[in-house]
């Protein structure tokens, strides 16, 4: 072994020893850190807590009080401004105001947030940060109005309308969806299977926008001319196409030509929807005429409008109608949202509109007011006026909408409570052969 090789070997050995030494040092350092952590967490912090009068491991008690039965009810949050102790100590129970708005502190130091709360007989709505809200506030399926001082105003009722579009989707549907999105509006689309297959992105986007998927069968046949099994297959085939396109089946059905019977509804097992205002767009094919037909029509709270998104003029008319209705204060909702807002639990039945007069007639299946003997016993608490659907008859009467008394007369004979009434209404107001035209044009 020559000198060079020997030196090389020594150098390697030295390096090895150095590495070993550093490794050992690193291990010591790591052990020291662990010991420090243990001492601080296990001994010093508990002692500090004990000295400070707190239990070890205690965190800030964010015990957001669970709302009881009413999901819209406010919850109690721990004291506002908890971090700022000097400020908090000066705060007293009652109303407070800062640069963000007004909020209410309870005697126990909590404050209300995220819901409705009665204070001194007045209902307020608190946002997630505990400040009172004013103007229109959406609670569940309803919009409630709060005055500038934050008090709930039961006189203000946002009228609701359900726009429905049949026979699509089509090449103009995305334009319509753009408009709905811009206006924060919802609609219901009664679609035929082949068009779902042709435009699978449309139902996907409808769901994203909060629109409702409706089923308008596969072949657009008159269902009453088919066997029950064939009628059901018409619906399930389109549901399969919807599931394929967007992962969800339809929730509601519209029978082609408004032609159905109770056996078909029962066999299909979904709510069927007619309409109370026909735009006649399938006949006009003219955006101005479509527009006039709707804007001059009966736009009472609870109206269901029929249009067809396979026609370009219908979509062009909608681009004007939607923002205008919103500007007029309407809330544009799906048929199921409309039903829920009116206190109707949808059944396997047919629905034509959710006007106060129709609800009062007792002919709407699943309307909670149907089973109530007398809801006129007003106890004066605003709670009742708000809670989802329970402001049924008494409120609807007292709010004295113009169309109510008219509507009552026209519905007074339809009080036998069956779904057949709404059916015959819809059928009469509809010229069946023309829808066939409308469909074949689009198909």
Residues known to be catalytic: 166, 308
Minimum distance of Ni ion from residue 435's CB (angstroms): 5
Among 166, 212, 237, 239, binds Ni ion (CB under 5 A): 166
Minimum distance of Ni ion from residue 187's CB (angstroms): 15
- Degrees, nearest 5: CA angle 111-114-117: 65
* Cβ distance to Ni ion smaller for residue 141 or 223: 223
Instruction: State the DSSP string of 202-233.
Output: HHHHHHHTT-EEEE--SS---GGGS-HHHHHH
* Cβ distance to Ni ion smaller for residue 256 or 343: 256
95 bridge partner residues: 104
Q: Is 77 helix (H, G, I), strand (E, B) or coil?
A: strand
Q: Which stretch binds Ni ion (CB under 5 A): 50-58, 160-168, 235-243, 385-393?
A: 160-168
By the rule CB under 5 A, 281 interacts with Ni ion = no
213 bridge partner residues: 189
Of the candidates 148, 122, 154, 124, the one whose C-alpha atom is nearest the C-alpha of residue 135 is 148
DSSP secondary structure code for residue 80 in this structure: T
* Cβ distance to Ni ion smaller for residue 256 or 407: 256
Among 72, 143, 167, 278, binds Ni ion (CB under 5 A): 167
* Cβ distance to Ni ion smaller for residue 423 or 439: 439
Minimum distance of Ni ion from residue 216's CB (angstroms): 6
* Cβ distance to Ni ion smaller for residue 145 or 221: 221
Residue 330 contacts residue 184 (beta carbons within 8 Å): no
Q: Which stretch binds Ni ion (CB under 5 A): 88-96, 165-173, 296-304, 334-342?
A: 165-173
Residue number with the smallest Cβ distance to Ni ion = 166
Torsion over CA of 74, 78, 84 and 86, rounded to 10 degrees?
110
103 bridge partner residues: 96, 131
Cα distance between residue 353 and residue 394, in whole Å: 20
Minimum distance of Ni ion from residue 220's CB (angstroms): 6
Site pattern 231..260 for Ni ion (x: CB under 5 A): -------------------------x----
Would you tell me how many other CB atoms lie within 10 Å of the CB of residue 114? 19
Minimum distance of Ni ion from residue 305's CB (angstroms): 14
**Binders in 85-124 for Ni ion, by CB under 5 A:** none
Minimum distance of Ni ion from residue 439's CB (angstroms): 5
* Cβ distance to Ni ion smaller for residue 166 or 393: 166
H or E element at residue 138 = strand 135-139
- Degrees, nearest 5: CA angle 143-148-154: 40
Size of the site for Ni ion (CB under 5 A): 5
Minimum distance of Ni ion from residue 436's CB (angstroms): 8
Torsion over CA of 184, 187, 193 and 198, rounded to 10 degrees?
-30
Cα distance between residue 353 and residue 335, in whole Å: 9
Cα distance between residue 90 and residue 229, in whole Å: 73
Cα distance between residue 384 and residue 370, in whole Å: 18
* Cβ distance to Ni ion smaller for residue 307 or 332: 307
**Binders in 424-443 for Ni ion, by CB under 5 A:** 435, 439
**Binders in 255-274 for Ni ion, by CB under 5 A:** 256
Residues lying near Ni ion in the complex (CB under 5 A) are found at 166-167, 256, 435, 439
């Amino acid at each position: 072994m020559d000198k060079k090789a020997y030196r090389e070997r020594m150098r390697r050995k030295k390096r090895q020893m150095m590495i070993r030494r550093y490794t050992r040092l690193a291990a010591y350092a790591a052990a020291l850190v662990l010991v420090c952590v243990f001492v601080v967490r296990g001994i010093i912090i508990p002692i500090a807590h004990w000295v400070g009068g707190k239990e070890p491991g205690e965190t800030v008690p964010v015990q957001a009080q669970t709302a009881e039965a009413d999901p819209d009810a406010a919850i109690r949050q721990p004291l506002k401004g908890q971090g700022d102790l000097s400020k908090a100590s000066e705060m007293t129970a009652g109303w407070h105001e800062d640069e963000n708005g007004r909020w209410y502190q309870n005697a126990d130091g909590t404050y209300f947030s995220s819901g409705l709360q009665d204070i001194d007989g007045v209902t307020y709505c608190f946002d997630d940060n505990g400040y009172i809200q004013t103007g229109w506030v959406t609670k569940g399926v309803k919009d409630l109005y709060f005055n500038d001082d934050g008090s709930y105003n039961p006189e203000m009722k946002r009228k609701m309308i359900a726009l429905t579009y049949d026979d699509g989707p089509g090449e103009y549907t995305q334009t319509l969806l753009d408009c709905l999105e811009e206006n924060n509006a919802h609609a219901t689309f009664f679609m035929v299977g082949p068009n779902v297959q042709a435009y699978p992105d449309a139902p996907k986007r409808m769901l994203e926008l909060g629109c409702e998927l409706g089923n308008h069968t596969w072949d657009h046949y008159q269902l009453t001319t088919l066997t029950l099994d064939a009628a059901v297959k018409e619906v399930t085939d389109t549901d399969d196409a919807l599931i394929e396109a967007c992962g969800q089946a339809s929730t509601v059905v519209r029978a082609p030509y408004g032609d159905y019977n109770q056996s078909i509804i029962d066999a299909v097992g979904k709510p069927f929807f007619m309409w109370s205002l026909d735009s006649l767009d399938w006949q006009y094919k003219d955006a101005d005429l479509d527009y006039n037909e709707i804007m001059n029509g009966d736009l009472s709270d609870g109206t269901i409008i029929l249009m067809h998104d396979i026609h370009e003029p219908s979509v062009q008319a909608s681009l004007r109608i939607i923002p205008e209705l919103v500007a007029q204060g309407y809330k544009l909702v799906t048929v199921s949202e409309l039903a829920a807002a009116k206190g109707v639990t949808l059944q396997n039945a047919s629905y034509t509109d959710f006007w106060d007069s129709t609800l009062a007639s007792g002919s709407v299946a699943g309307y909670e007011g149907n089973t109530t003997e007398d809801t006129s016993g007003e106890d004066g608490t605003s709670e009742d006026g708000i809670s989802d659907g329970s402001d049924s008859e008494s409120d609807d009467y007292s709010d004295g909408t113009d169309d109510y008394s008219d509507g009552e007369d026209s519905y007074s004979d339809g009080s036998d409570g069956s779904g057949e009434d709404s059916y015959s209404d819809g059928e009469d107001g509809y010229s069946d052969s023309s829808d066939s035209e409308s469909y074949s044009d689009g198909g």
